[in-house]
Chain A
Amino acid sequence: MYRRLELCSNRGGFEAVPEPARPIDLVEARRQLERAGIAVVDARVMLIAALEAEVTIARSGRLLFKTRDPKVAERALGRLSAILGLPARSPGPGADTAGGPSGRPRKRVGPGESI
């Protein structure tokens, strides 16, 4: 389940990570995205799809939305979830901070919140 949409460590976009881990079948995901009329770059270990914001879809299930606007990221996540049948997102346990891969604290952003 994608619980949180978080500002990435370099503050250039938002990322969502499934909890628990849920890999994405990229071959099937590409097919579904193209069927929905979305342009996709296939780099084998990841897809890059042109939604409301450009999104990187990693095989691990990590999603990175290249926008600094949380509302745009939310919309893109919702659309992507619908197309790929990703598990529905529930609100996170609060708007505190969580350590990212770099160890740097990141702000959690809920639906409609701004950063």
Chain B
Amino acid sequence: MARGVMLMSGGIDSPVALHYLLRRGHEMIAVHMDNRPFTDDTPIEKVADHLTVLRERYGQPIPLYMVPHGSTQITLMRNTDRHVGCILCRRFMWRSAERIAERENASFLATGEALGQVASQTLSNMRSATASVRLPIVRPLIGLDKVEIERVAKEIGTYGISTRPGICCQAVPPKPATRSNLVQILREEQKVDPESILDDCVRNTVLVK
């Protein structure tokens, strides 16, 4: 079985996606993008608790990398069109995950994305976001609807953790773009220095367990 890197948000979907990959016998490494000060501490606590549940269920270690992402968000908000902020944000998330995958000798990336669930999960936005990386991306939940995902989350014991009170990401613009084209996104991204941002993030990444 393959070794992969899973992006974990603290929400309902990502632990369910991770559960499916672990059930298939994949060896998984978790990455959480720490969005403070645009959130509070709760996403970190939720991800830690999700992993505790899934480690116990599958009896295997799941290392967790915490990548500081707040300063990236600040740079993007100061310098780029806020309308496409979520897509740019996700491009940096993917790149960070890919750097960790290279370090961990992992061969794929994974998320809990389900098509059309939120603004960043339209086909054009997913394409614009993932064009920043080369590794294959696995989305175990892509065709599931929210009801199905929540049912599995309850079965595996992660739903109650995900739905604890918390602050939504404050960096999300009032009207995020639901359609994007890659040329426009790349033009926006040129207003910042992606490699320097990424180097900073990865340098300050912490391996928790």
Contact = CB atoms under 8 A, between A and B. Distances in A.
Contacts of A61: none
Contact of B78 (A10, A13, A44, A56): A44
Contacts of A54: 37, 40
B74 A43 contact: yes
A10 B165 contact: yes
Name A's interface SS. loop
- List the 10 closest A-B pairs by CB distance, nearest first: A11-B165, A12-B167, A12-B166, A43-B77, A44-B78, A12-B165, A48-B37, A66-B40, A43-B74, A56-B170
A43 B167 contact: no
B37 A41 contact: yes
Nearest to A65: B167
B42 to A, nearest CB: 6
Interface of A: 8-13, 41-46, 48, 54, 56, 64, 66, 68
Contacts of B74: 41-43
Nearest to B168: A10
Given A45-B77, A48-B170, A66-B40, 6 more contacts: A9-B168, A10-B165, A13-B40, A13-B167, A42-B78, A48-B38
A66 B42 CA distance: 11
B77 A44 contact: yes
Contacts, number: 45
A64 B170 contact: yes
B82 interface: yes
A64 B167 contact: yes
- B-side interface size class: 10 to 19
B165 A68 contact: yes
A13 B170 CA distance: 12
Contacts of B166: 10-12
Interface string B56-96: 00000000000000000110011000100000000000000
A28 B169 CA distance: 25
Which of B40, B74, B167, B168: most chain A CB closer than 10 A? B167
Contacts of B40: 12-13, 54, 66
Contacts of A43: 73-74, 77-78, 171
B163 to A, nearest CB: 9
27 contacts: A8-B167, A9-B168, A10-B165, A10-B167, A10-B168, A11-B165, A12-B166, A12-B168, A13-B40, A13-B167, A41-B37, A42-B74, A42-B78, A43-B73, A43-B77, A43-B171, A44-B78, A45-B82, A46-B77, A46-B170, A48-B37, A48-B170, A54-B37, A54-B40, A56-B37, A56-B170, A66-B167
Contacts of A12: 40, 42, 165-168
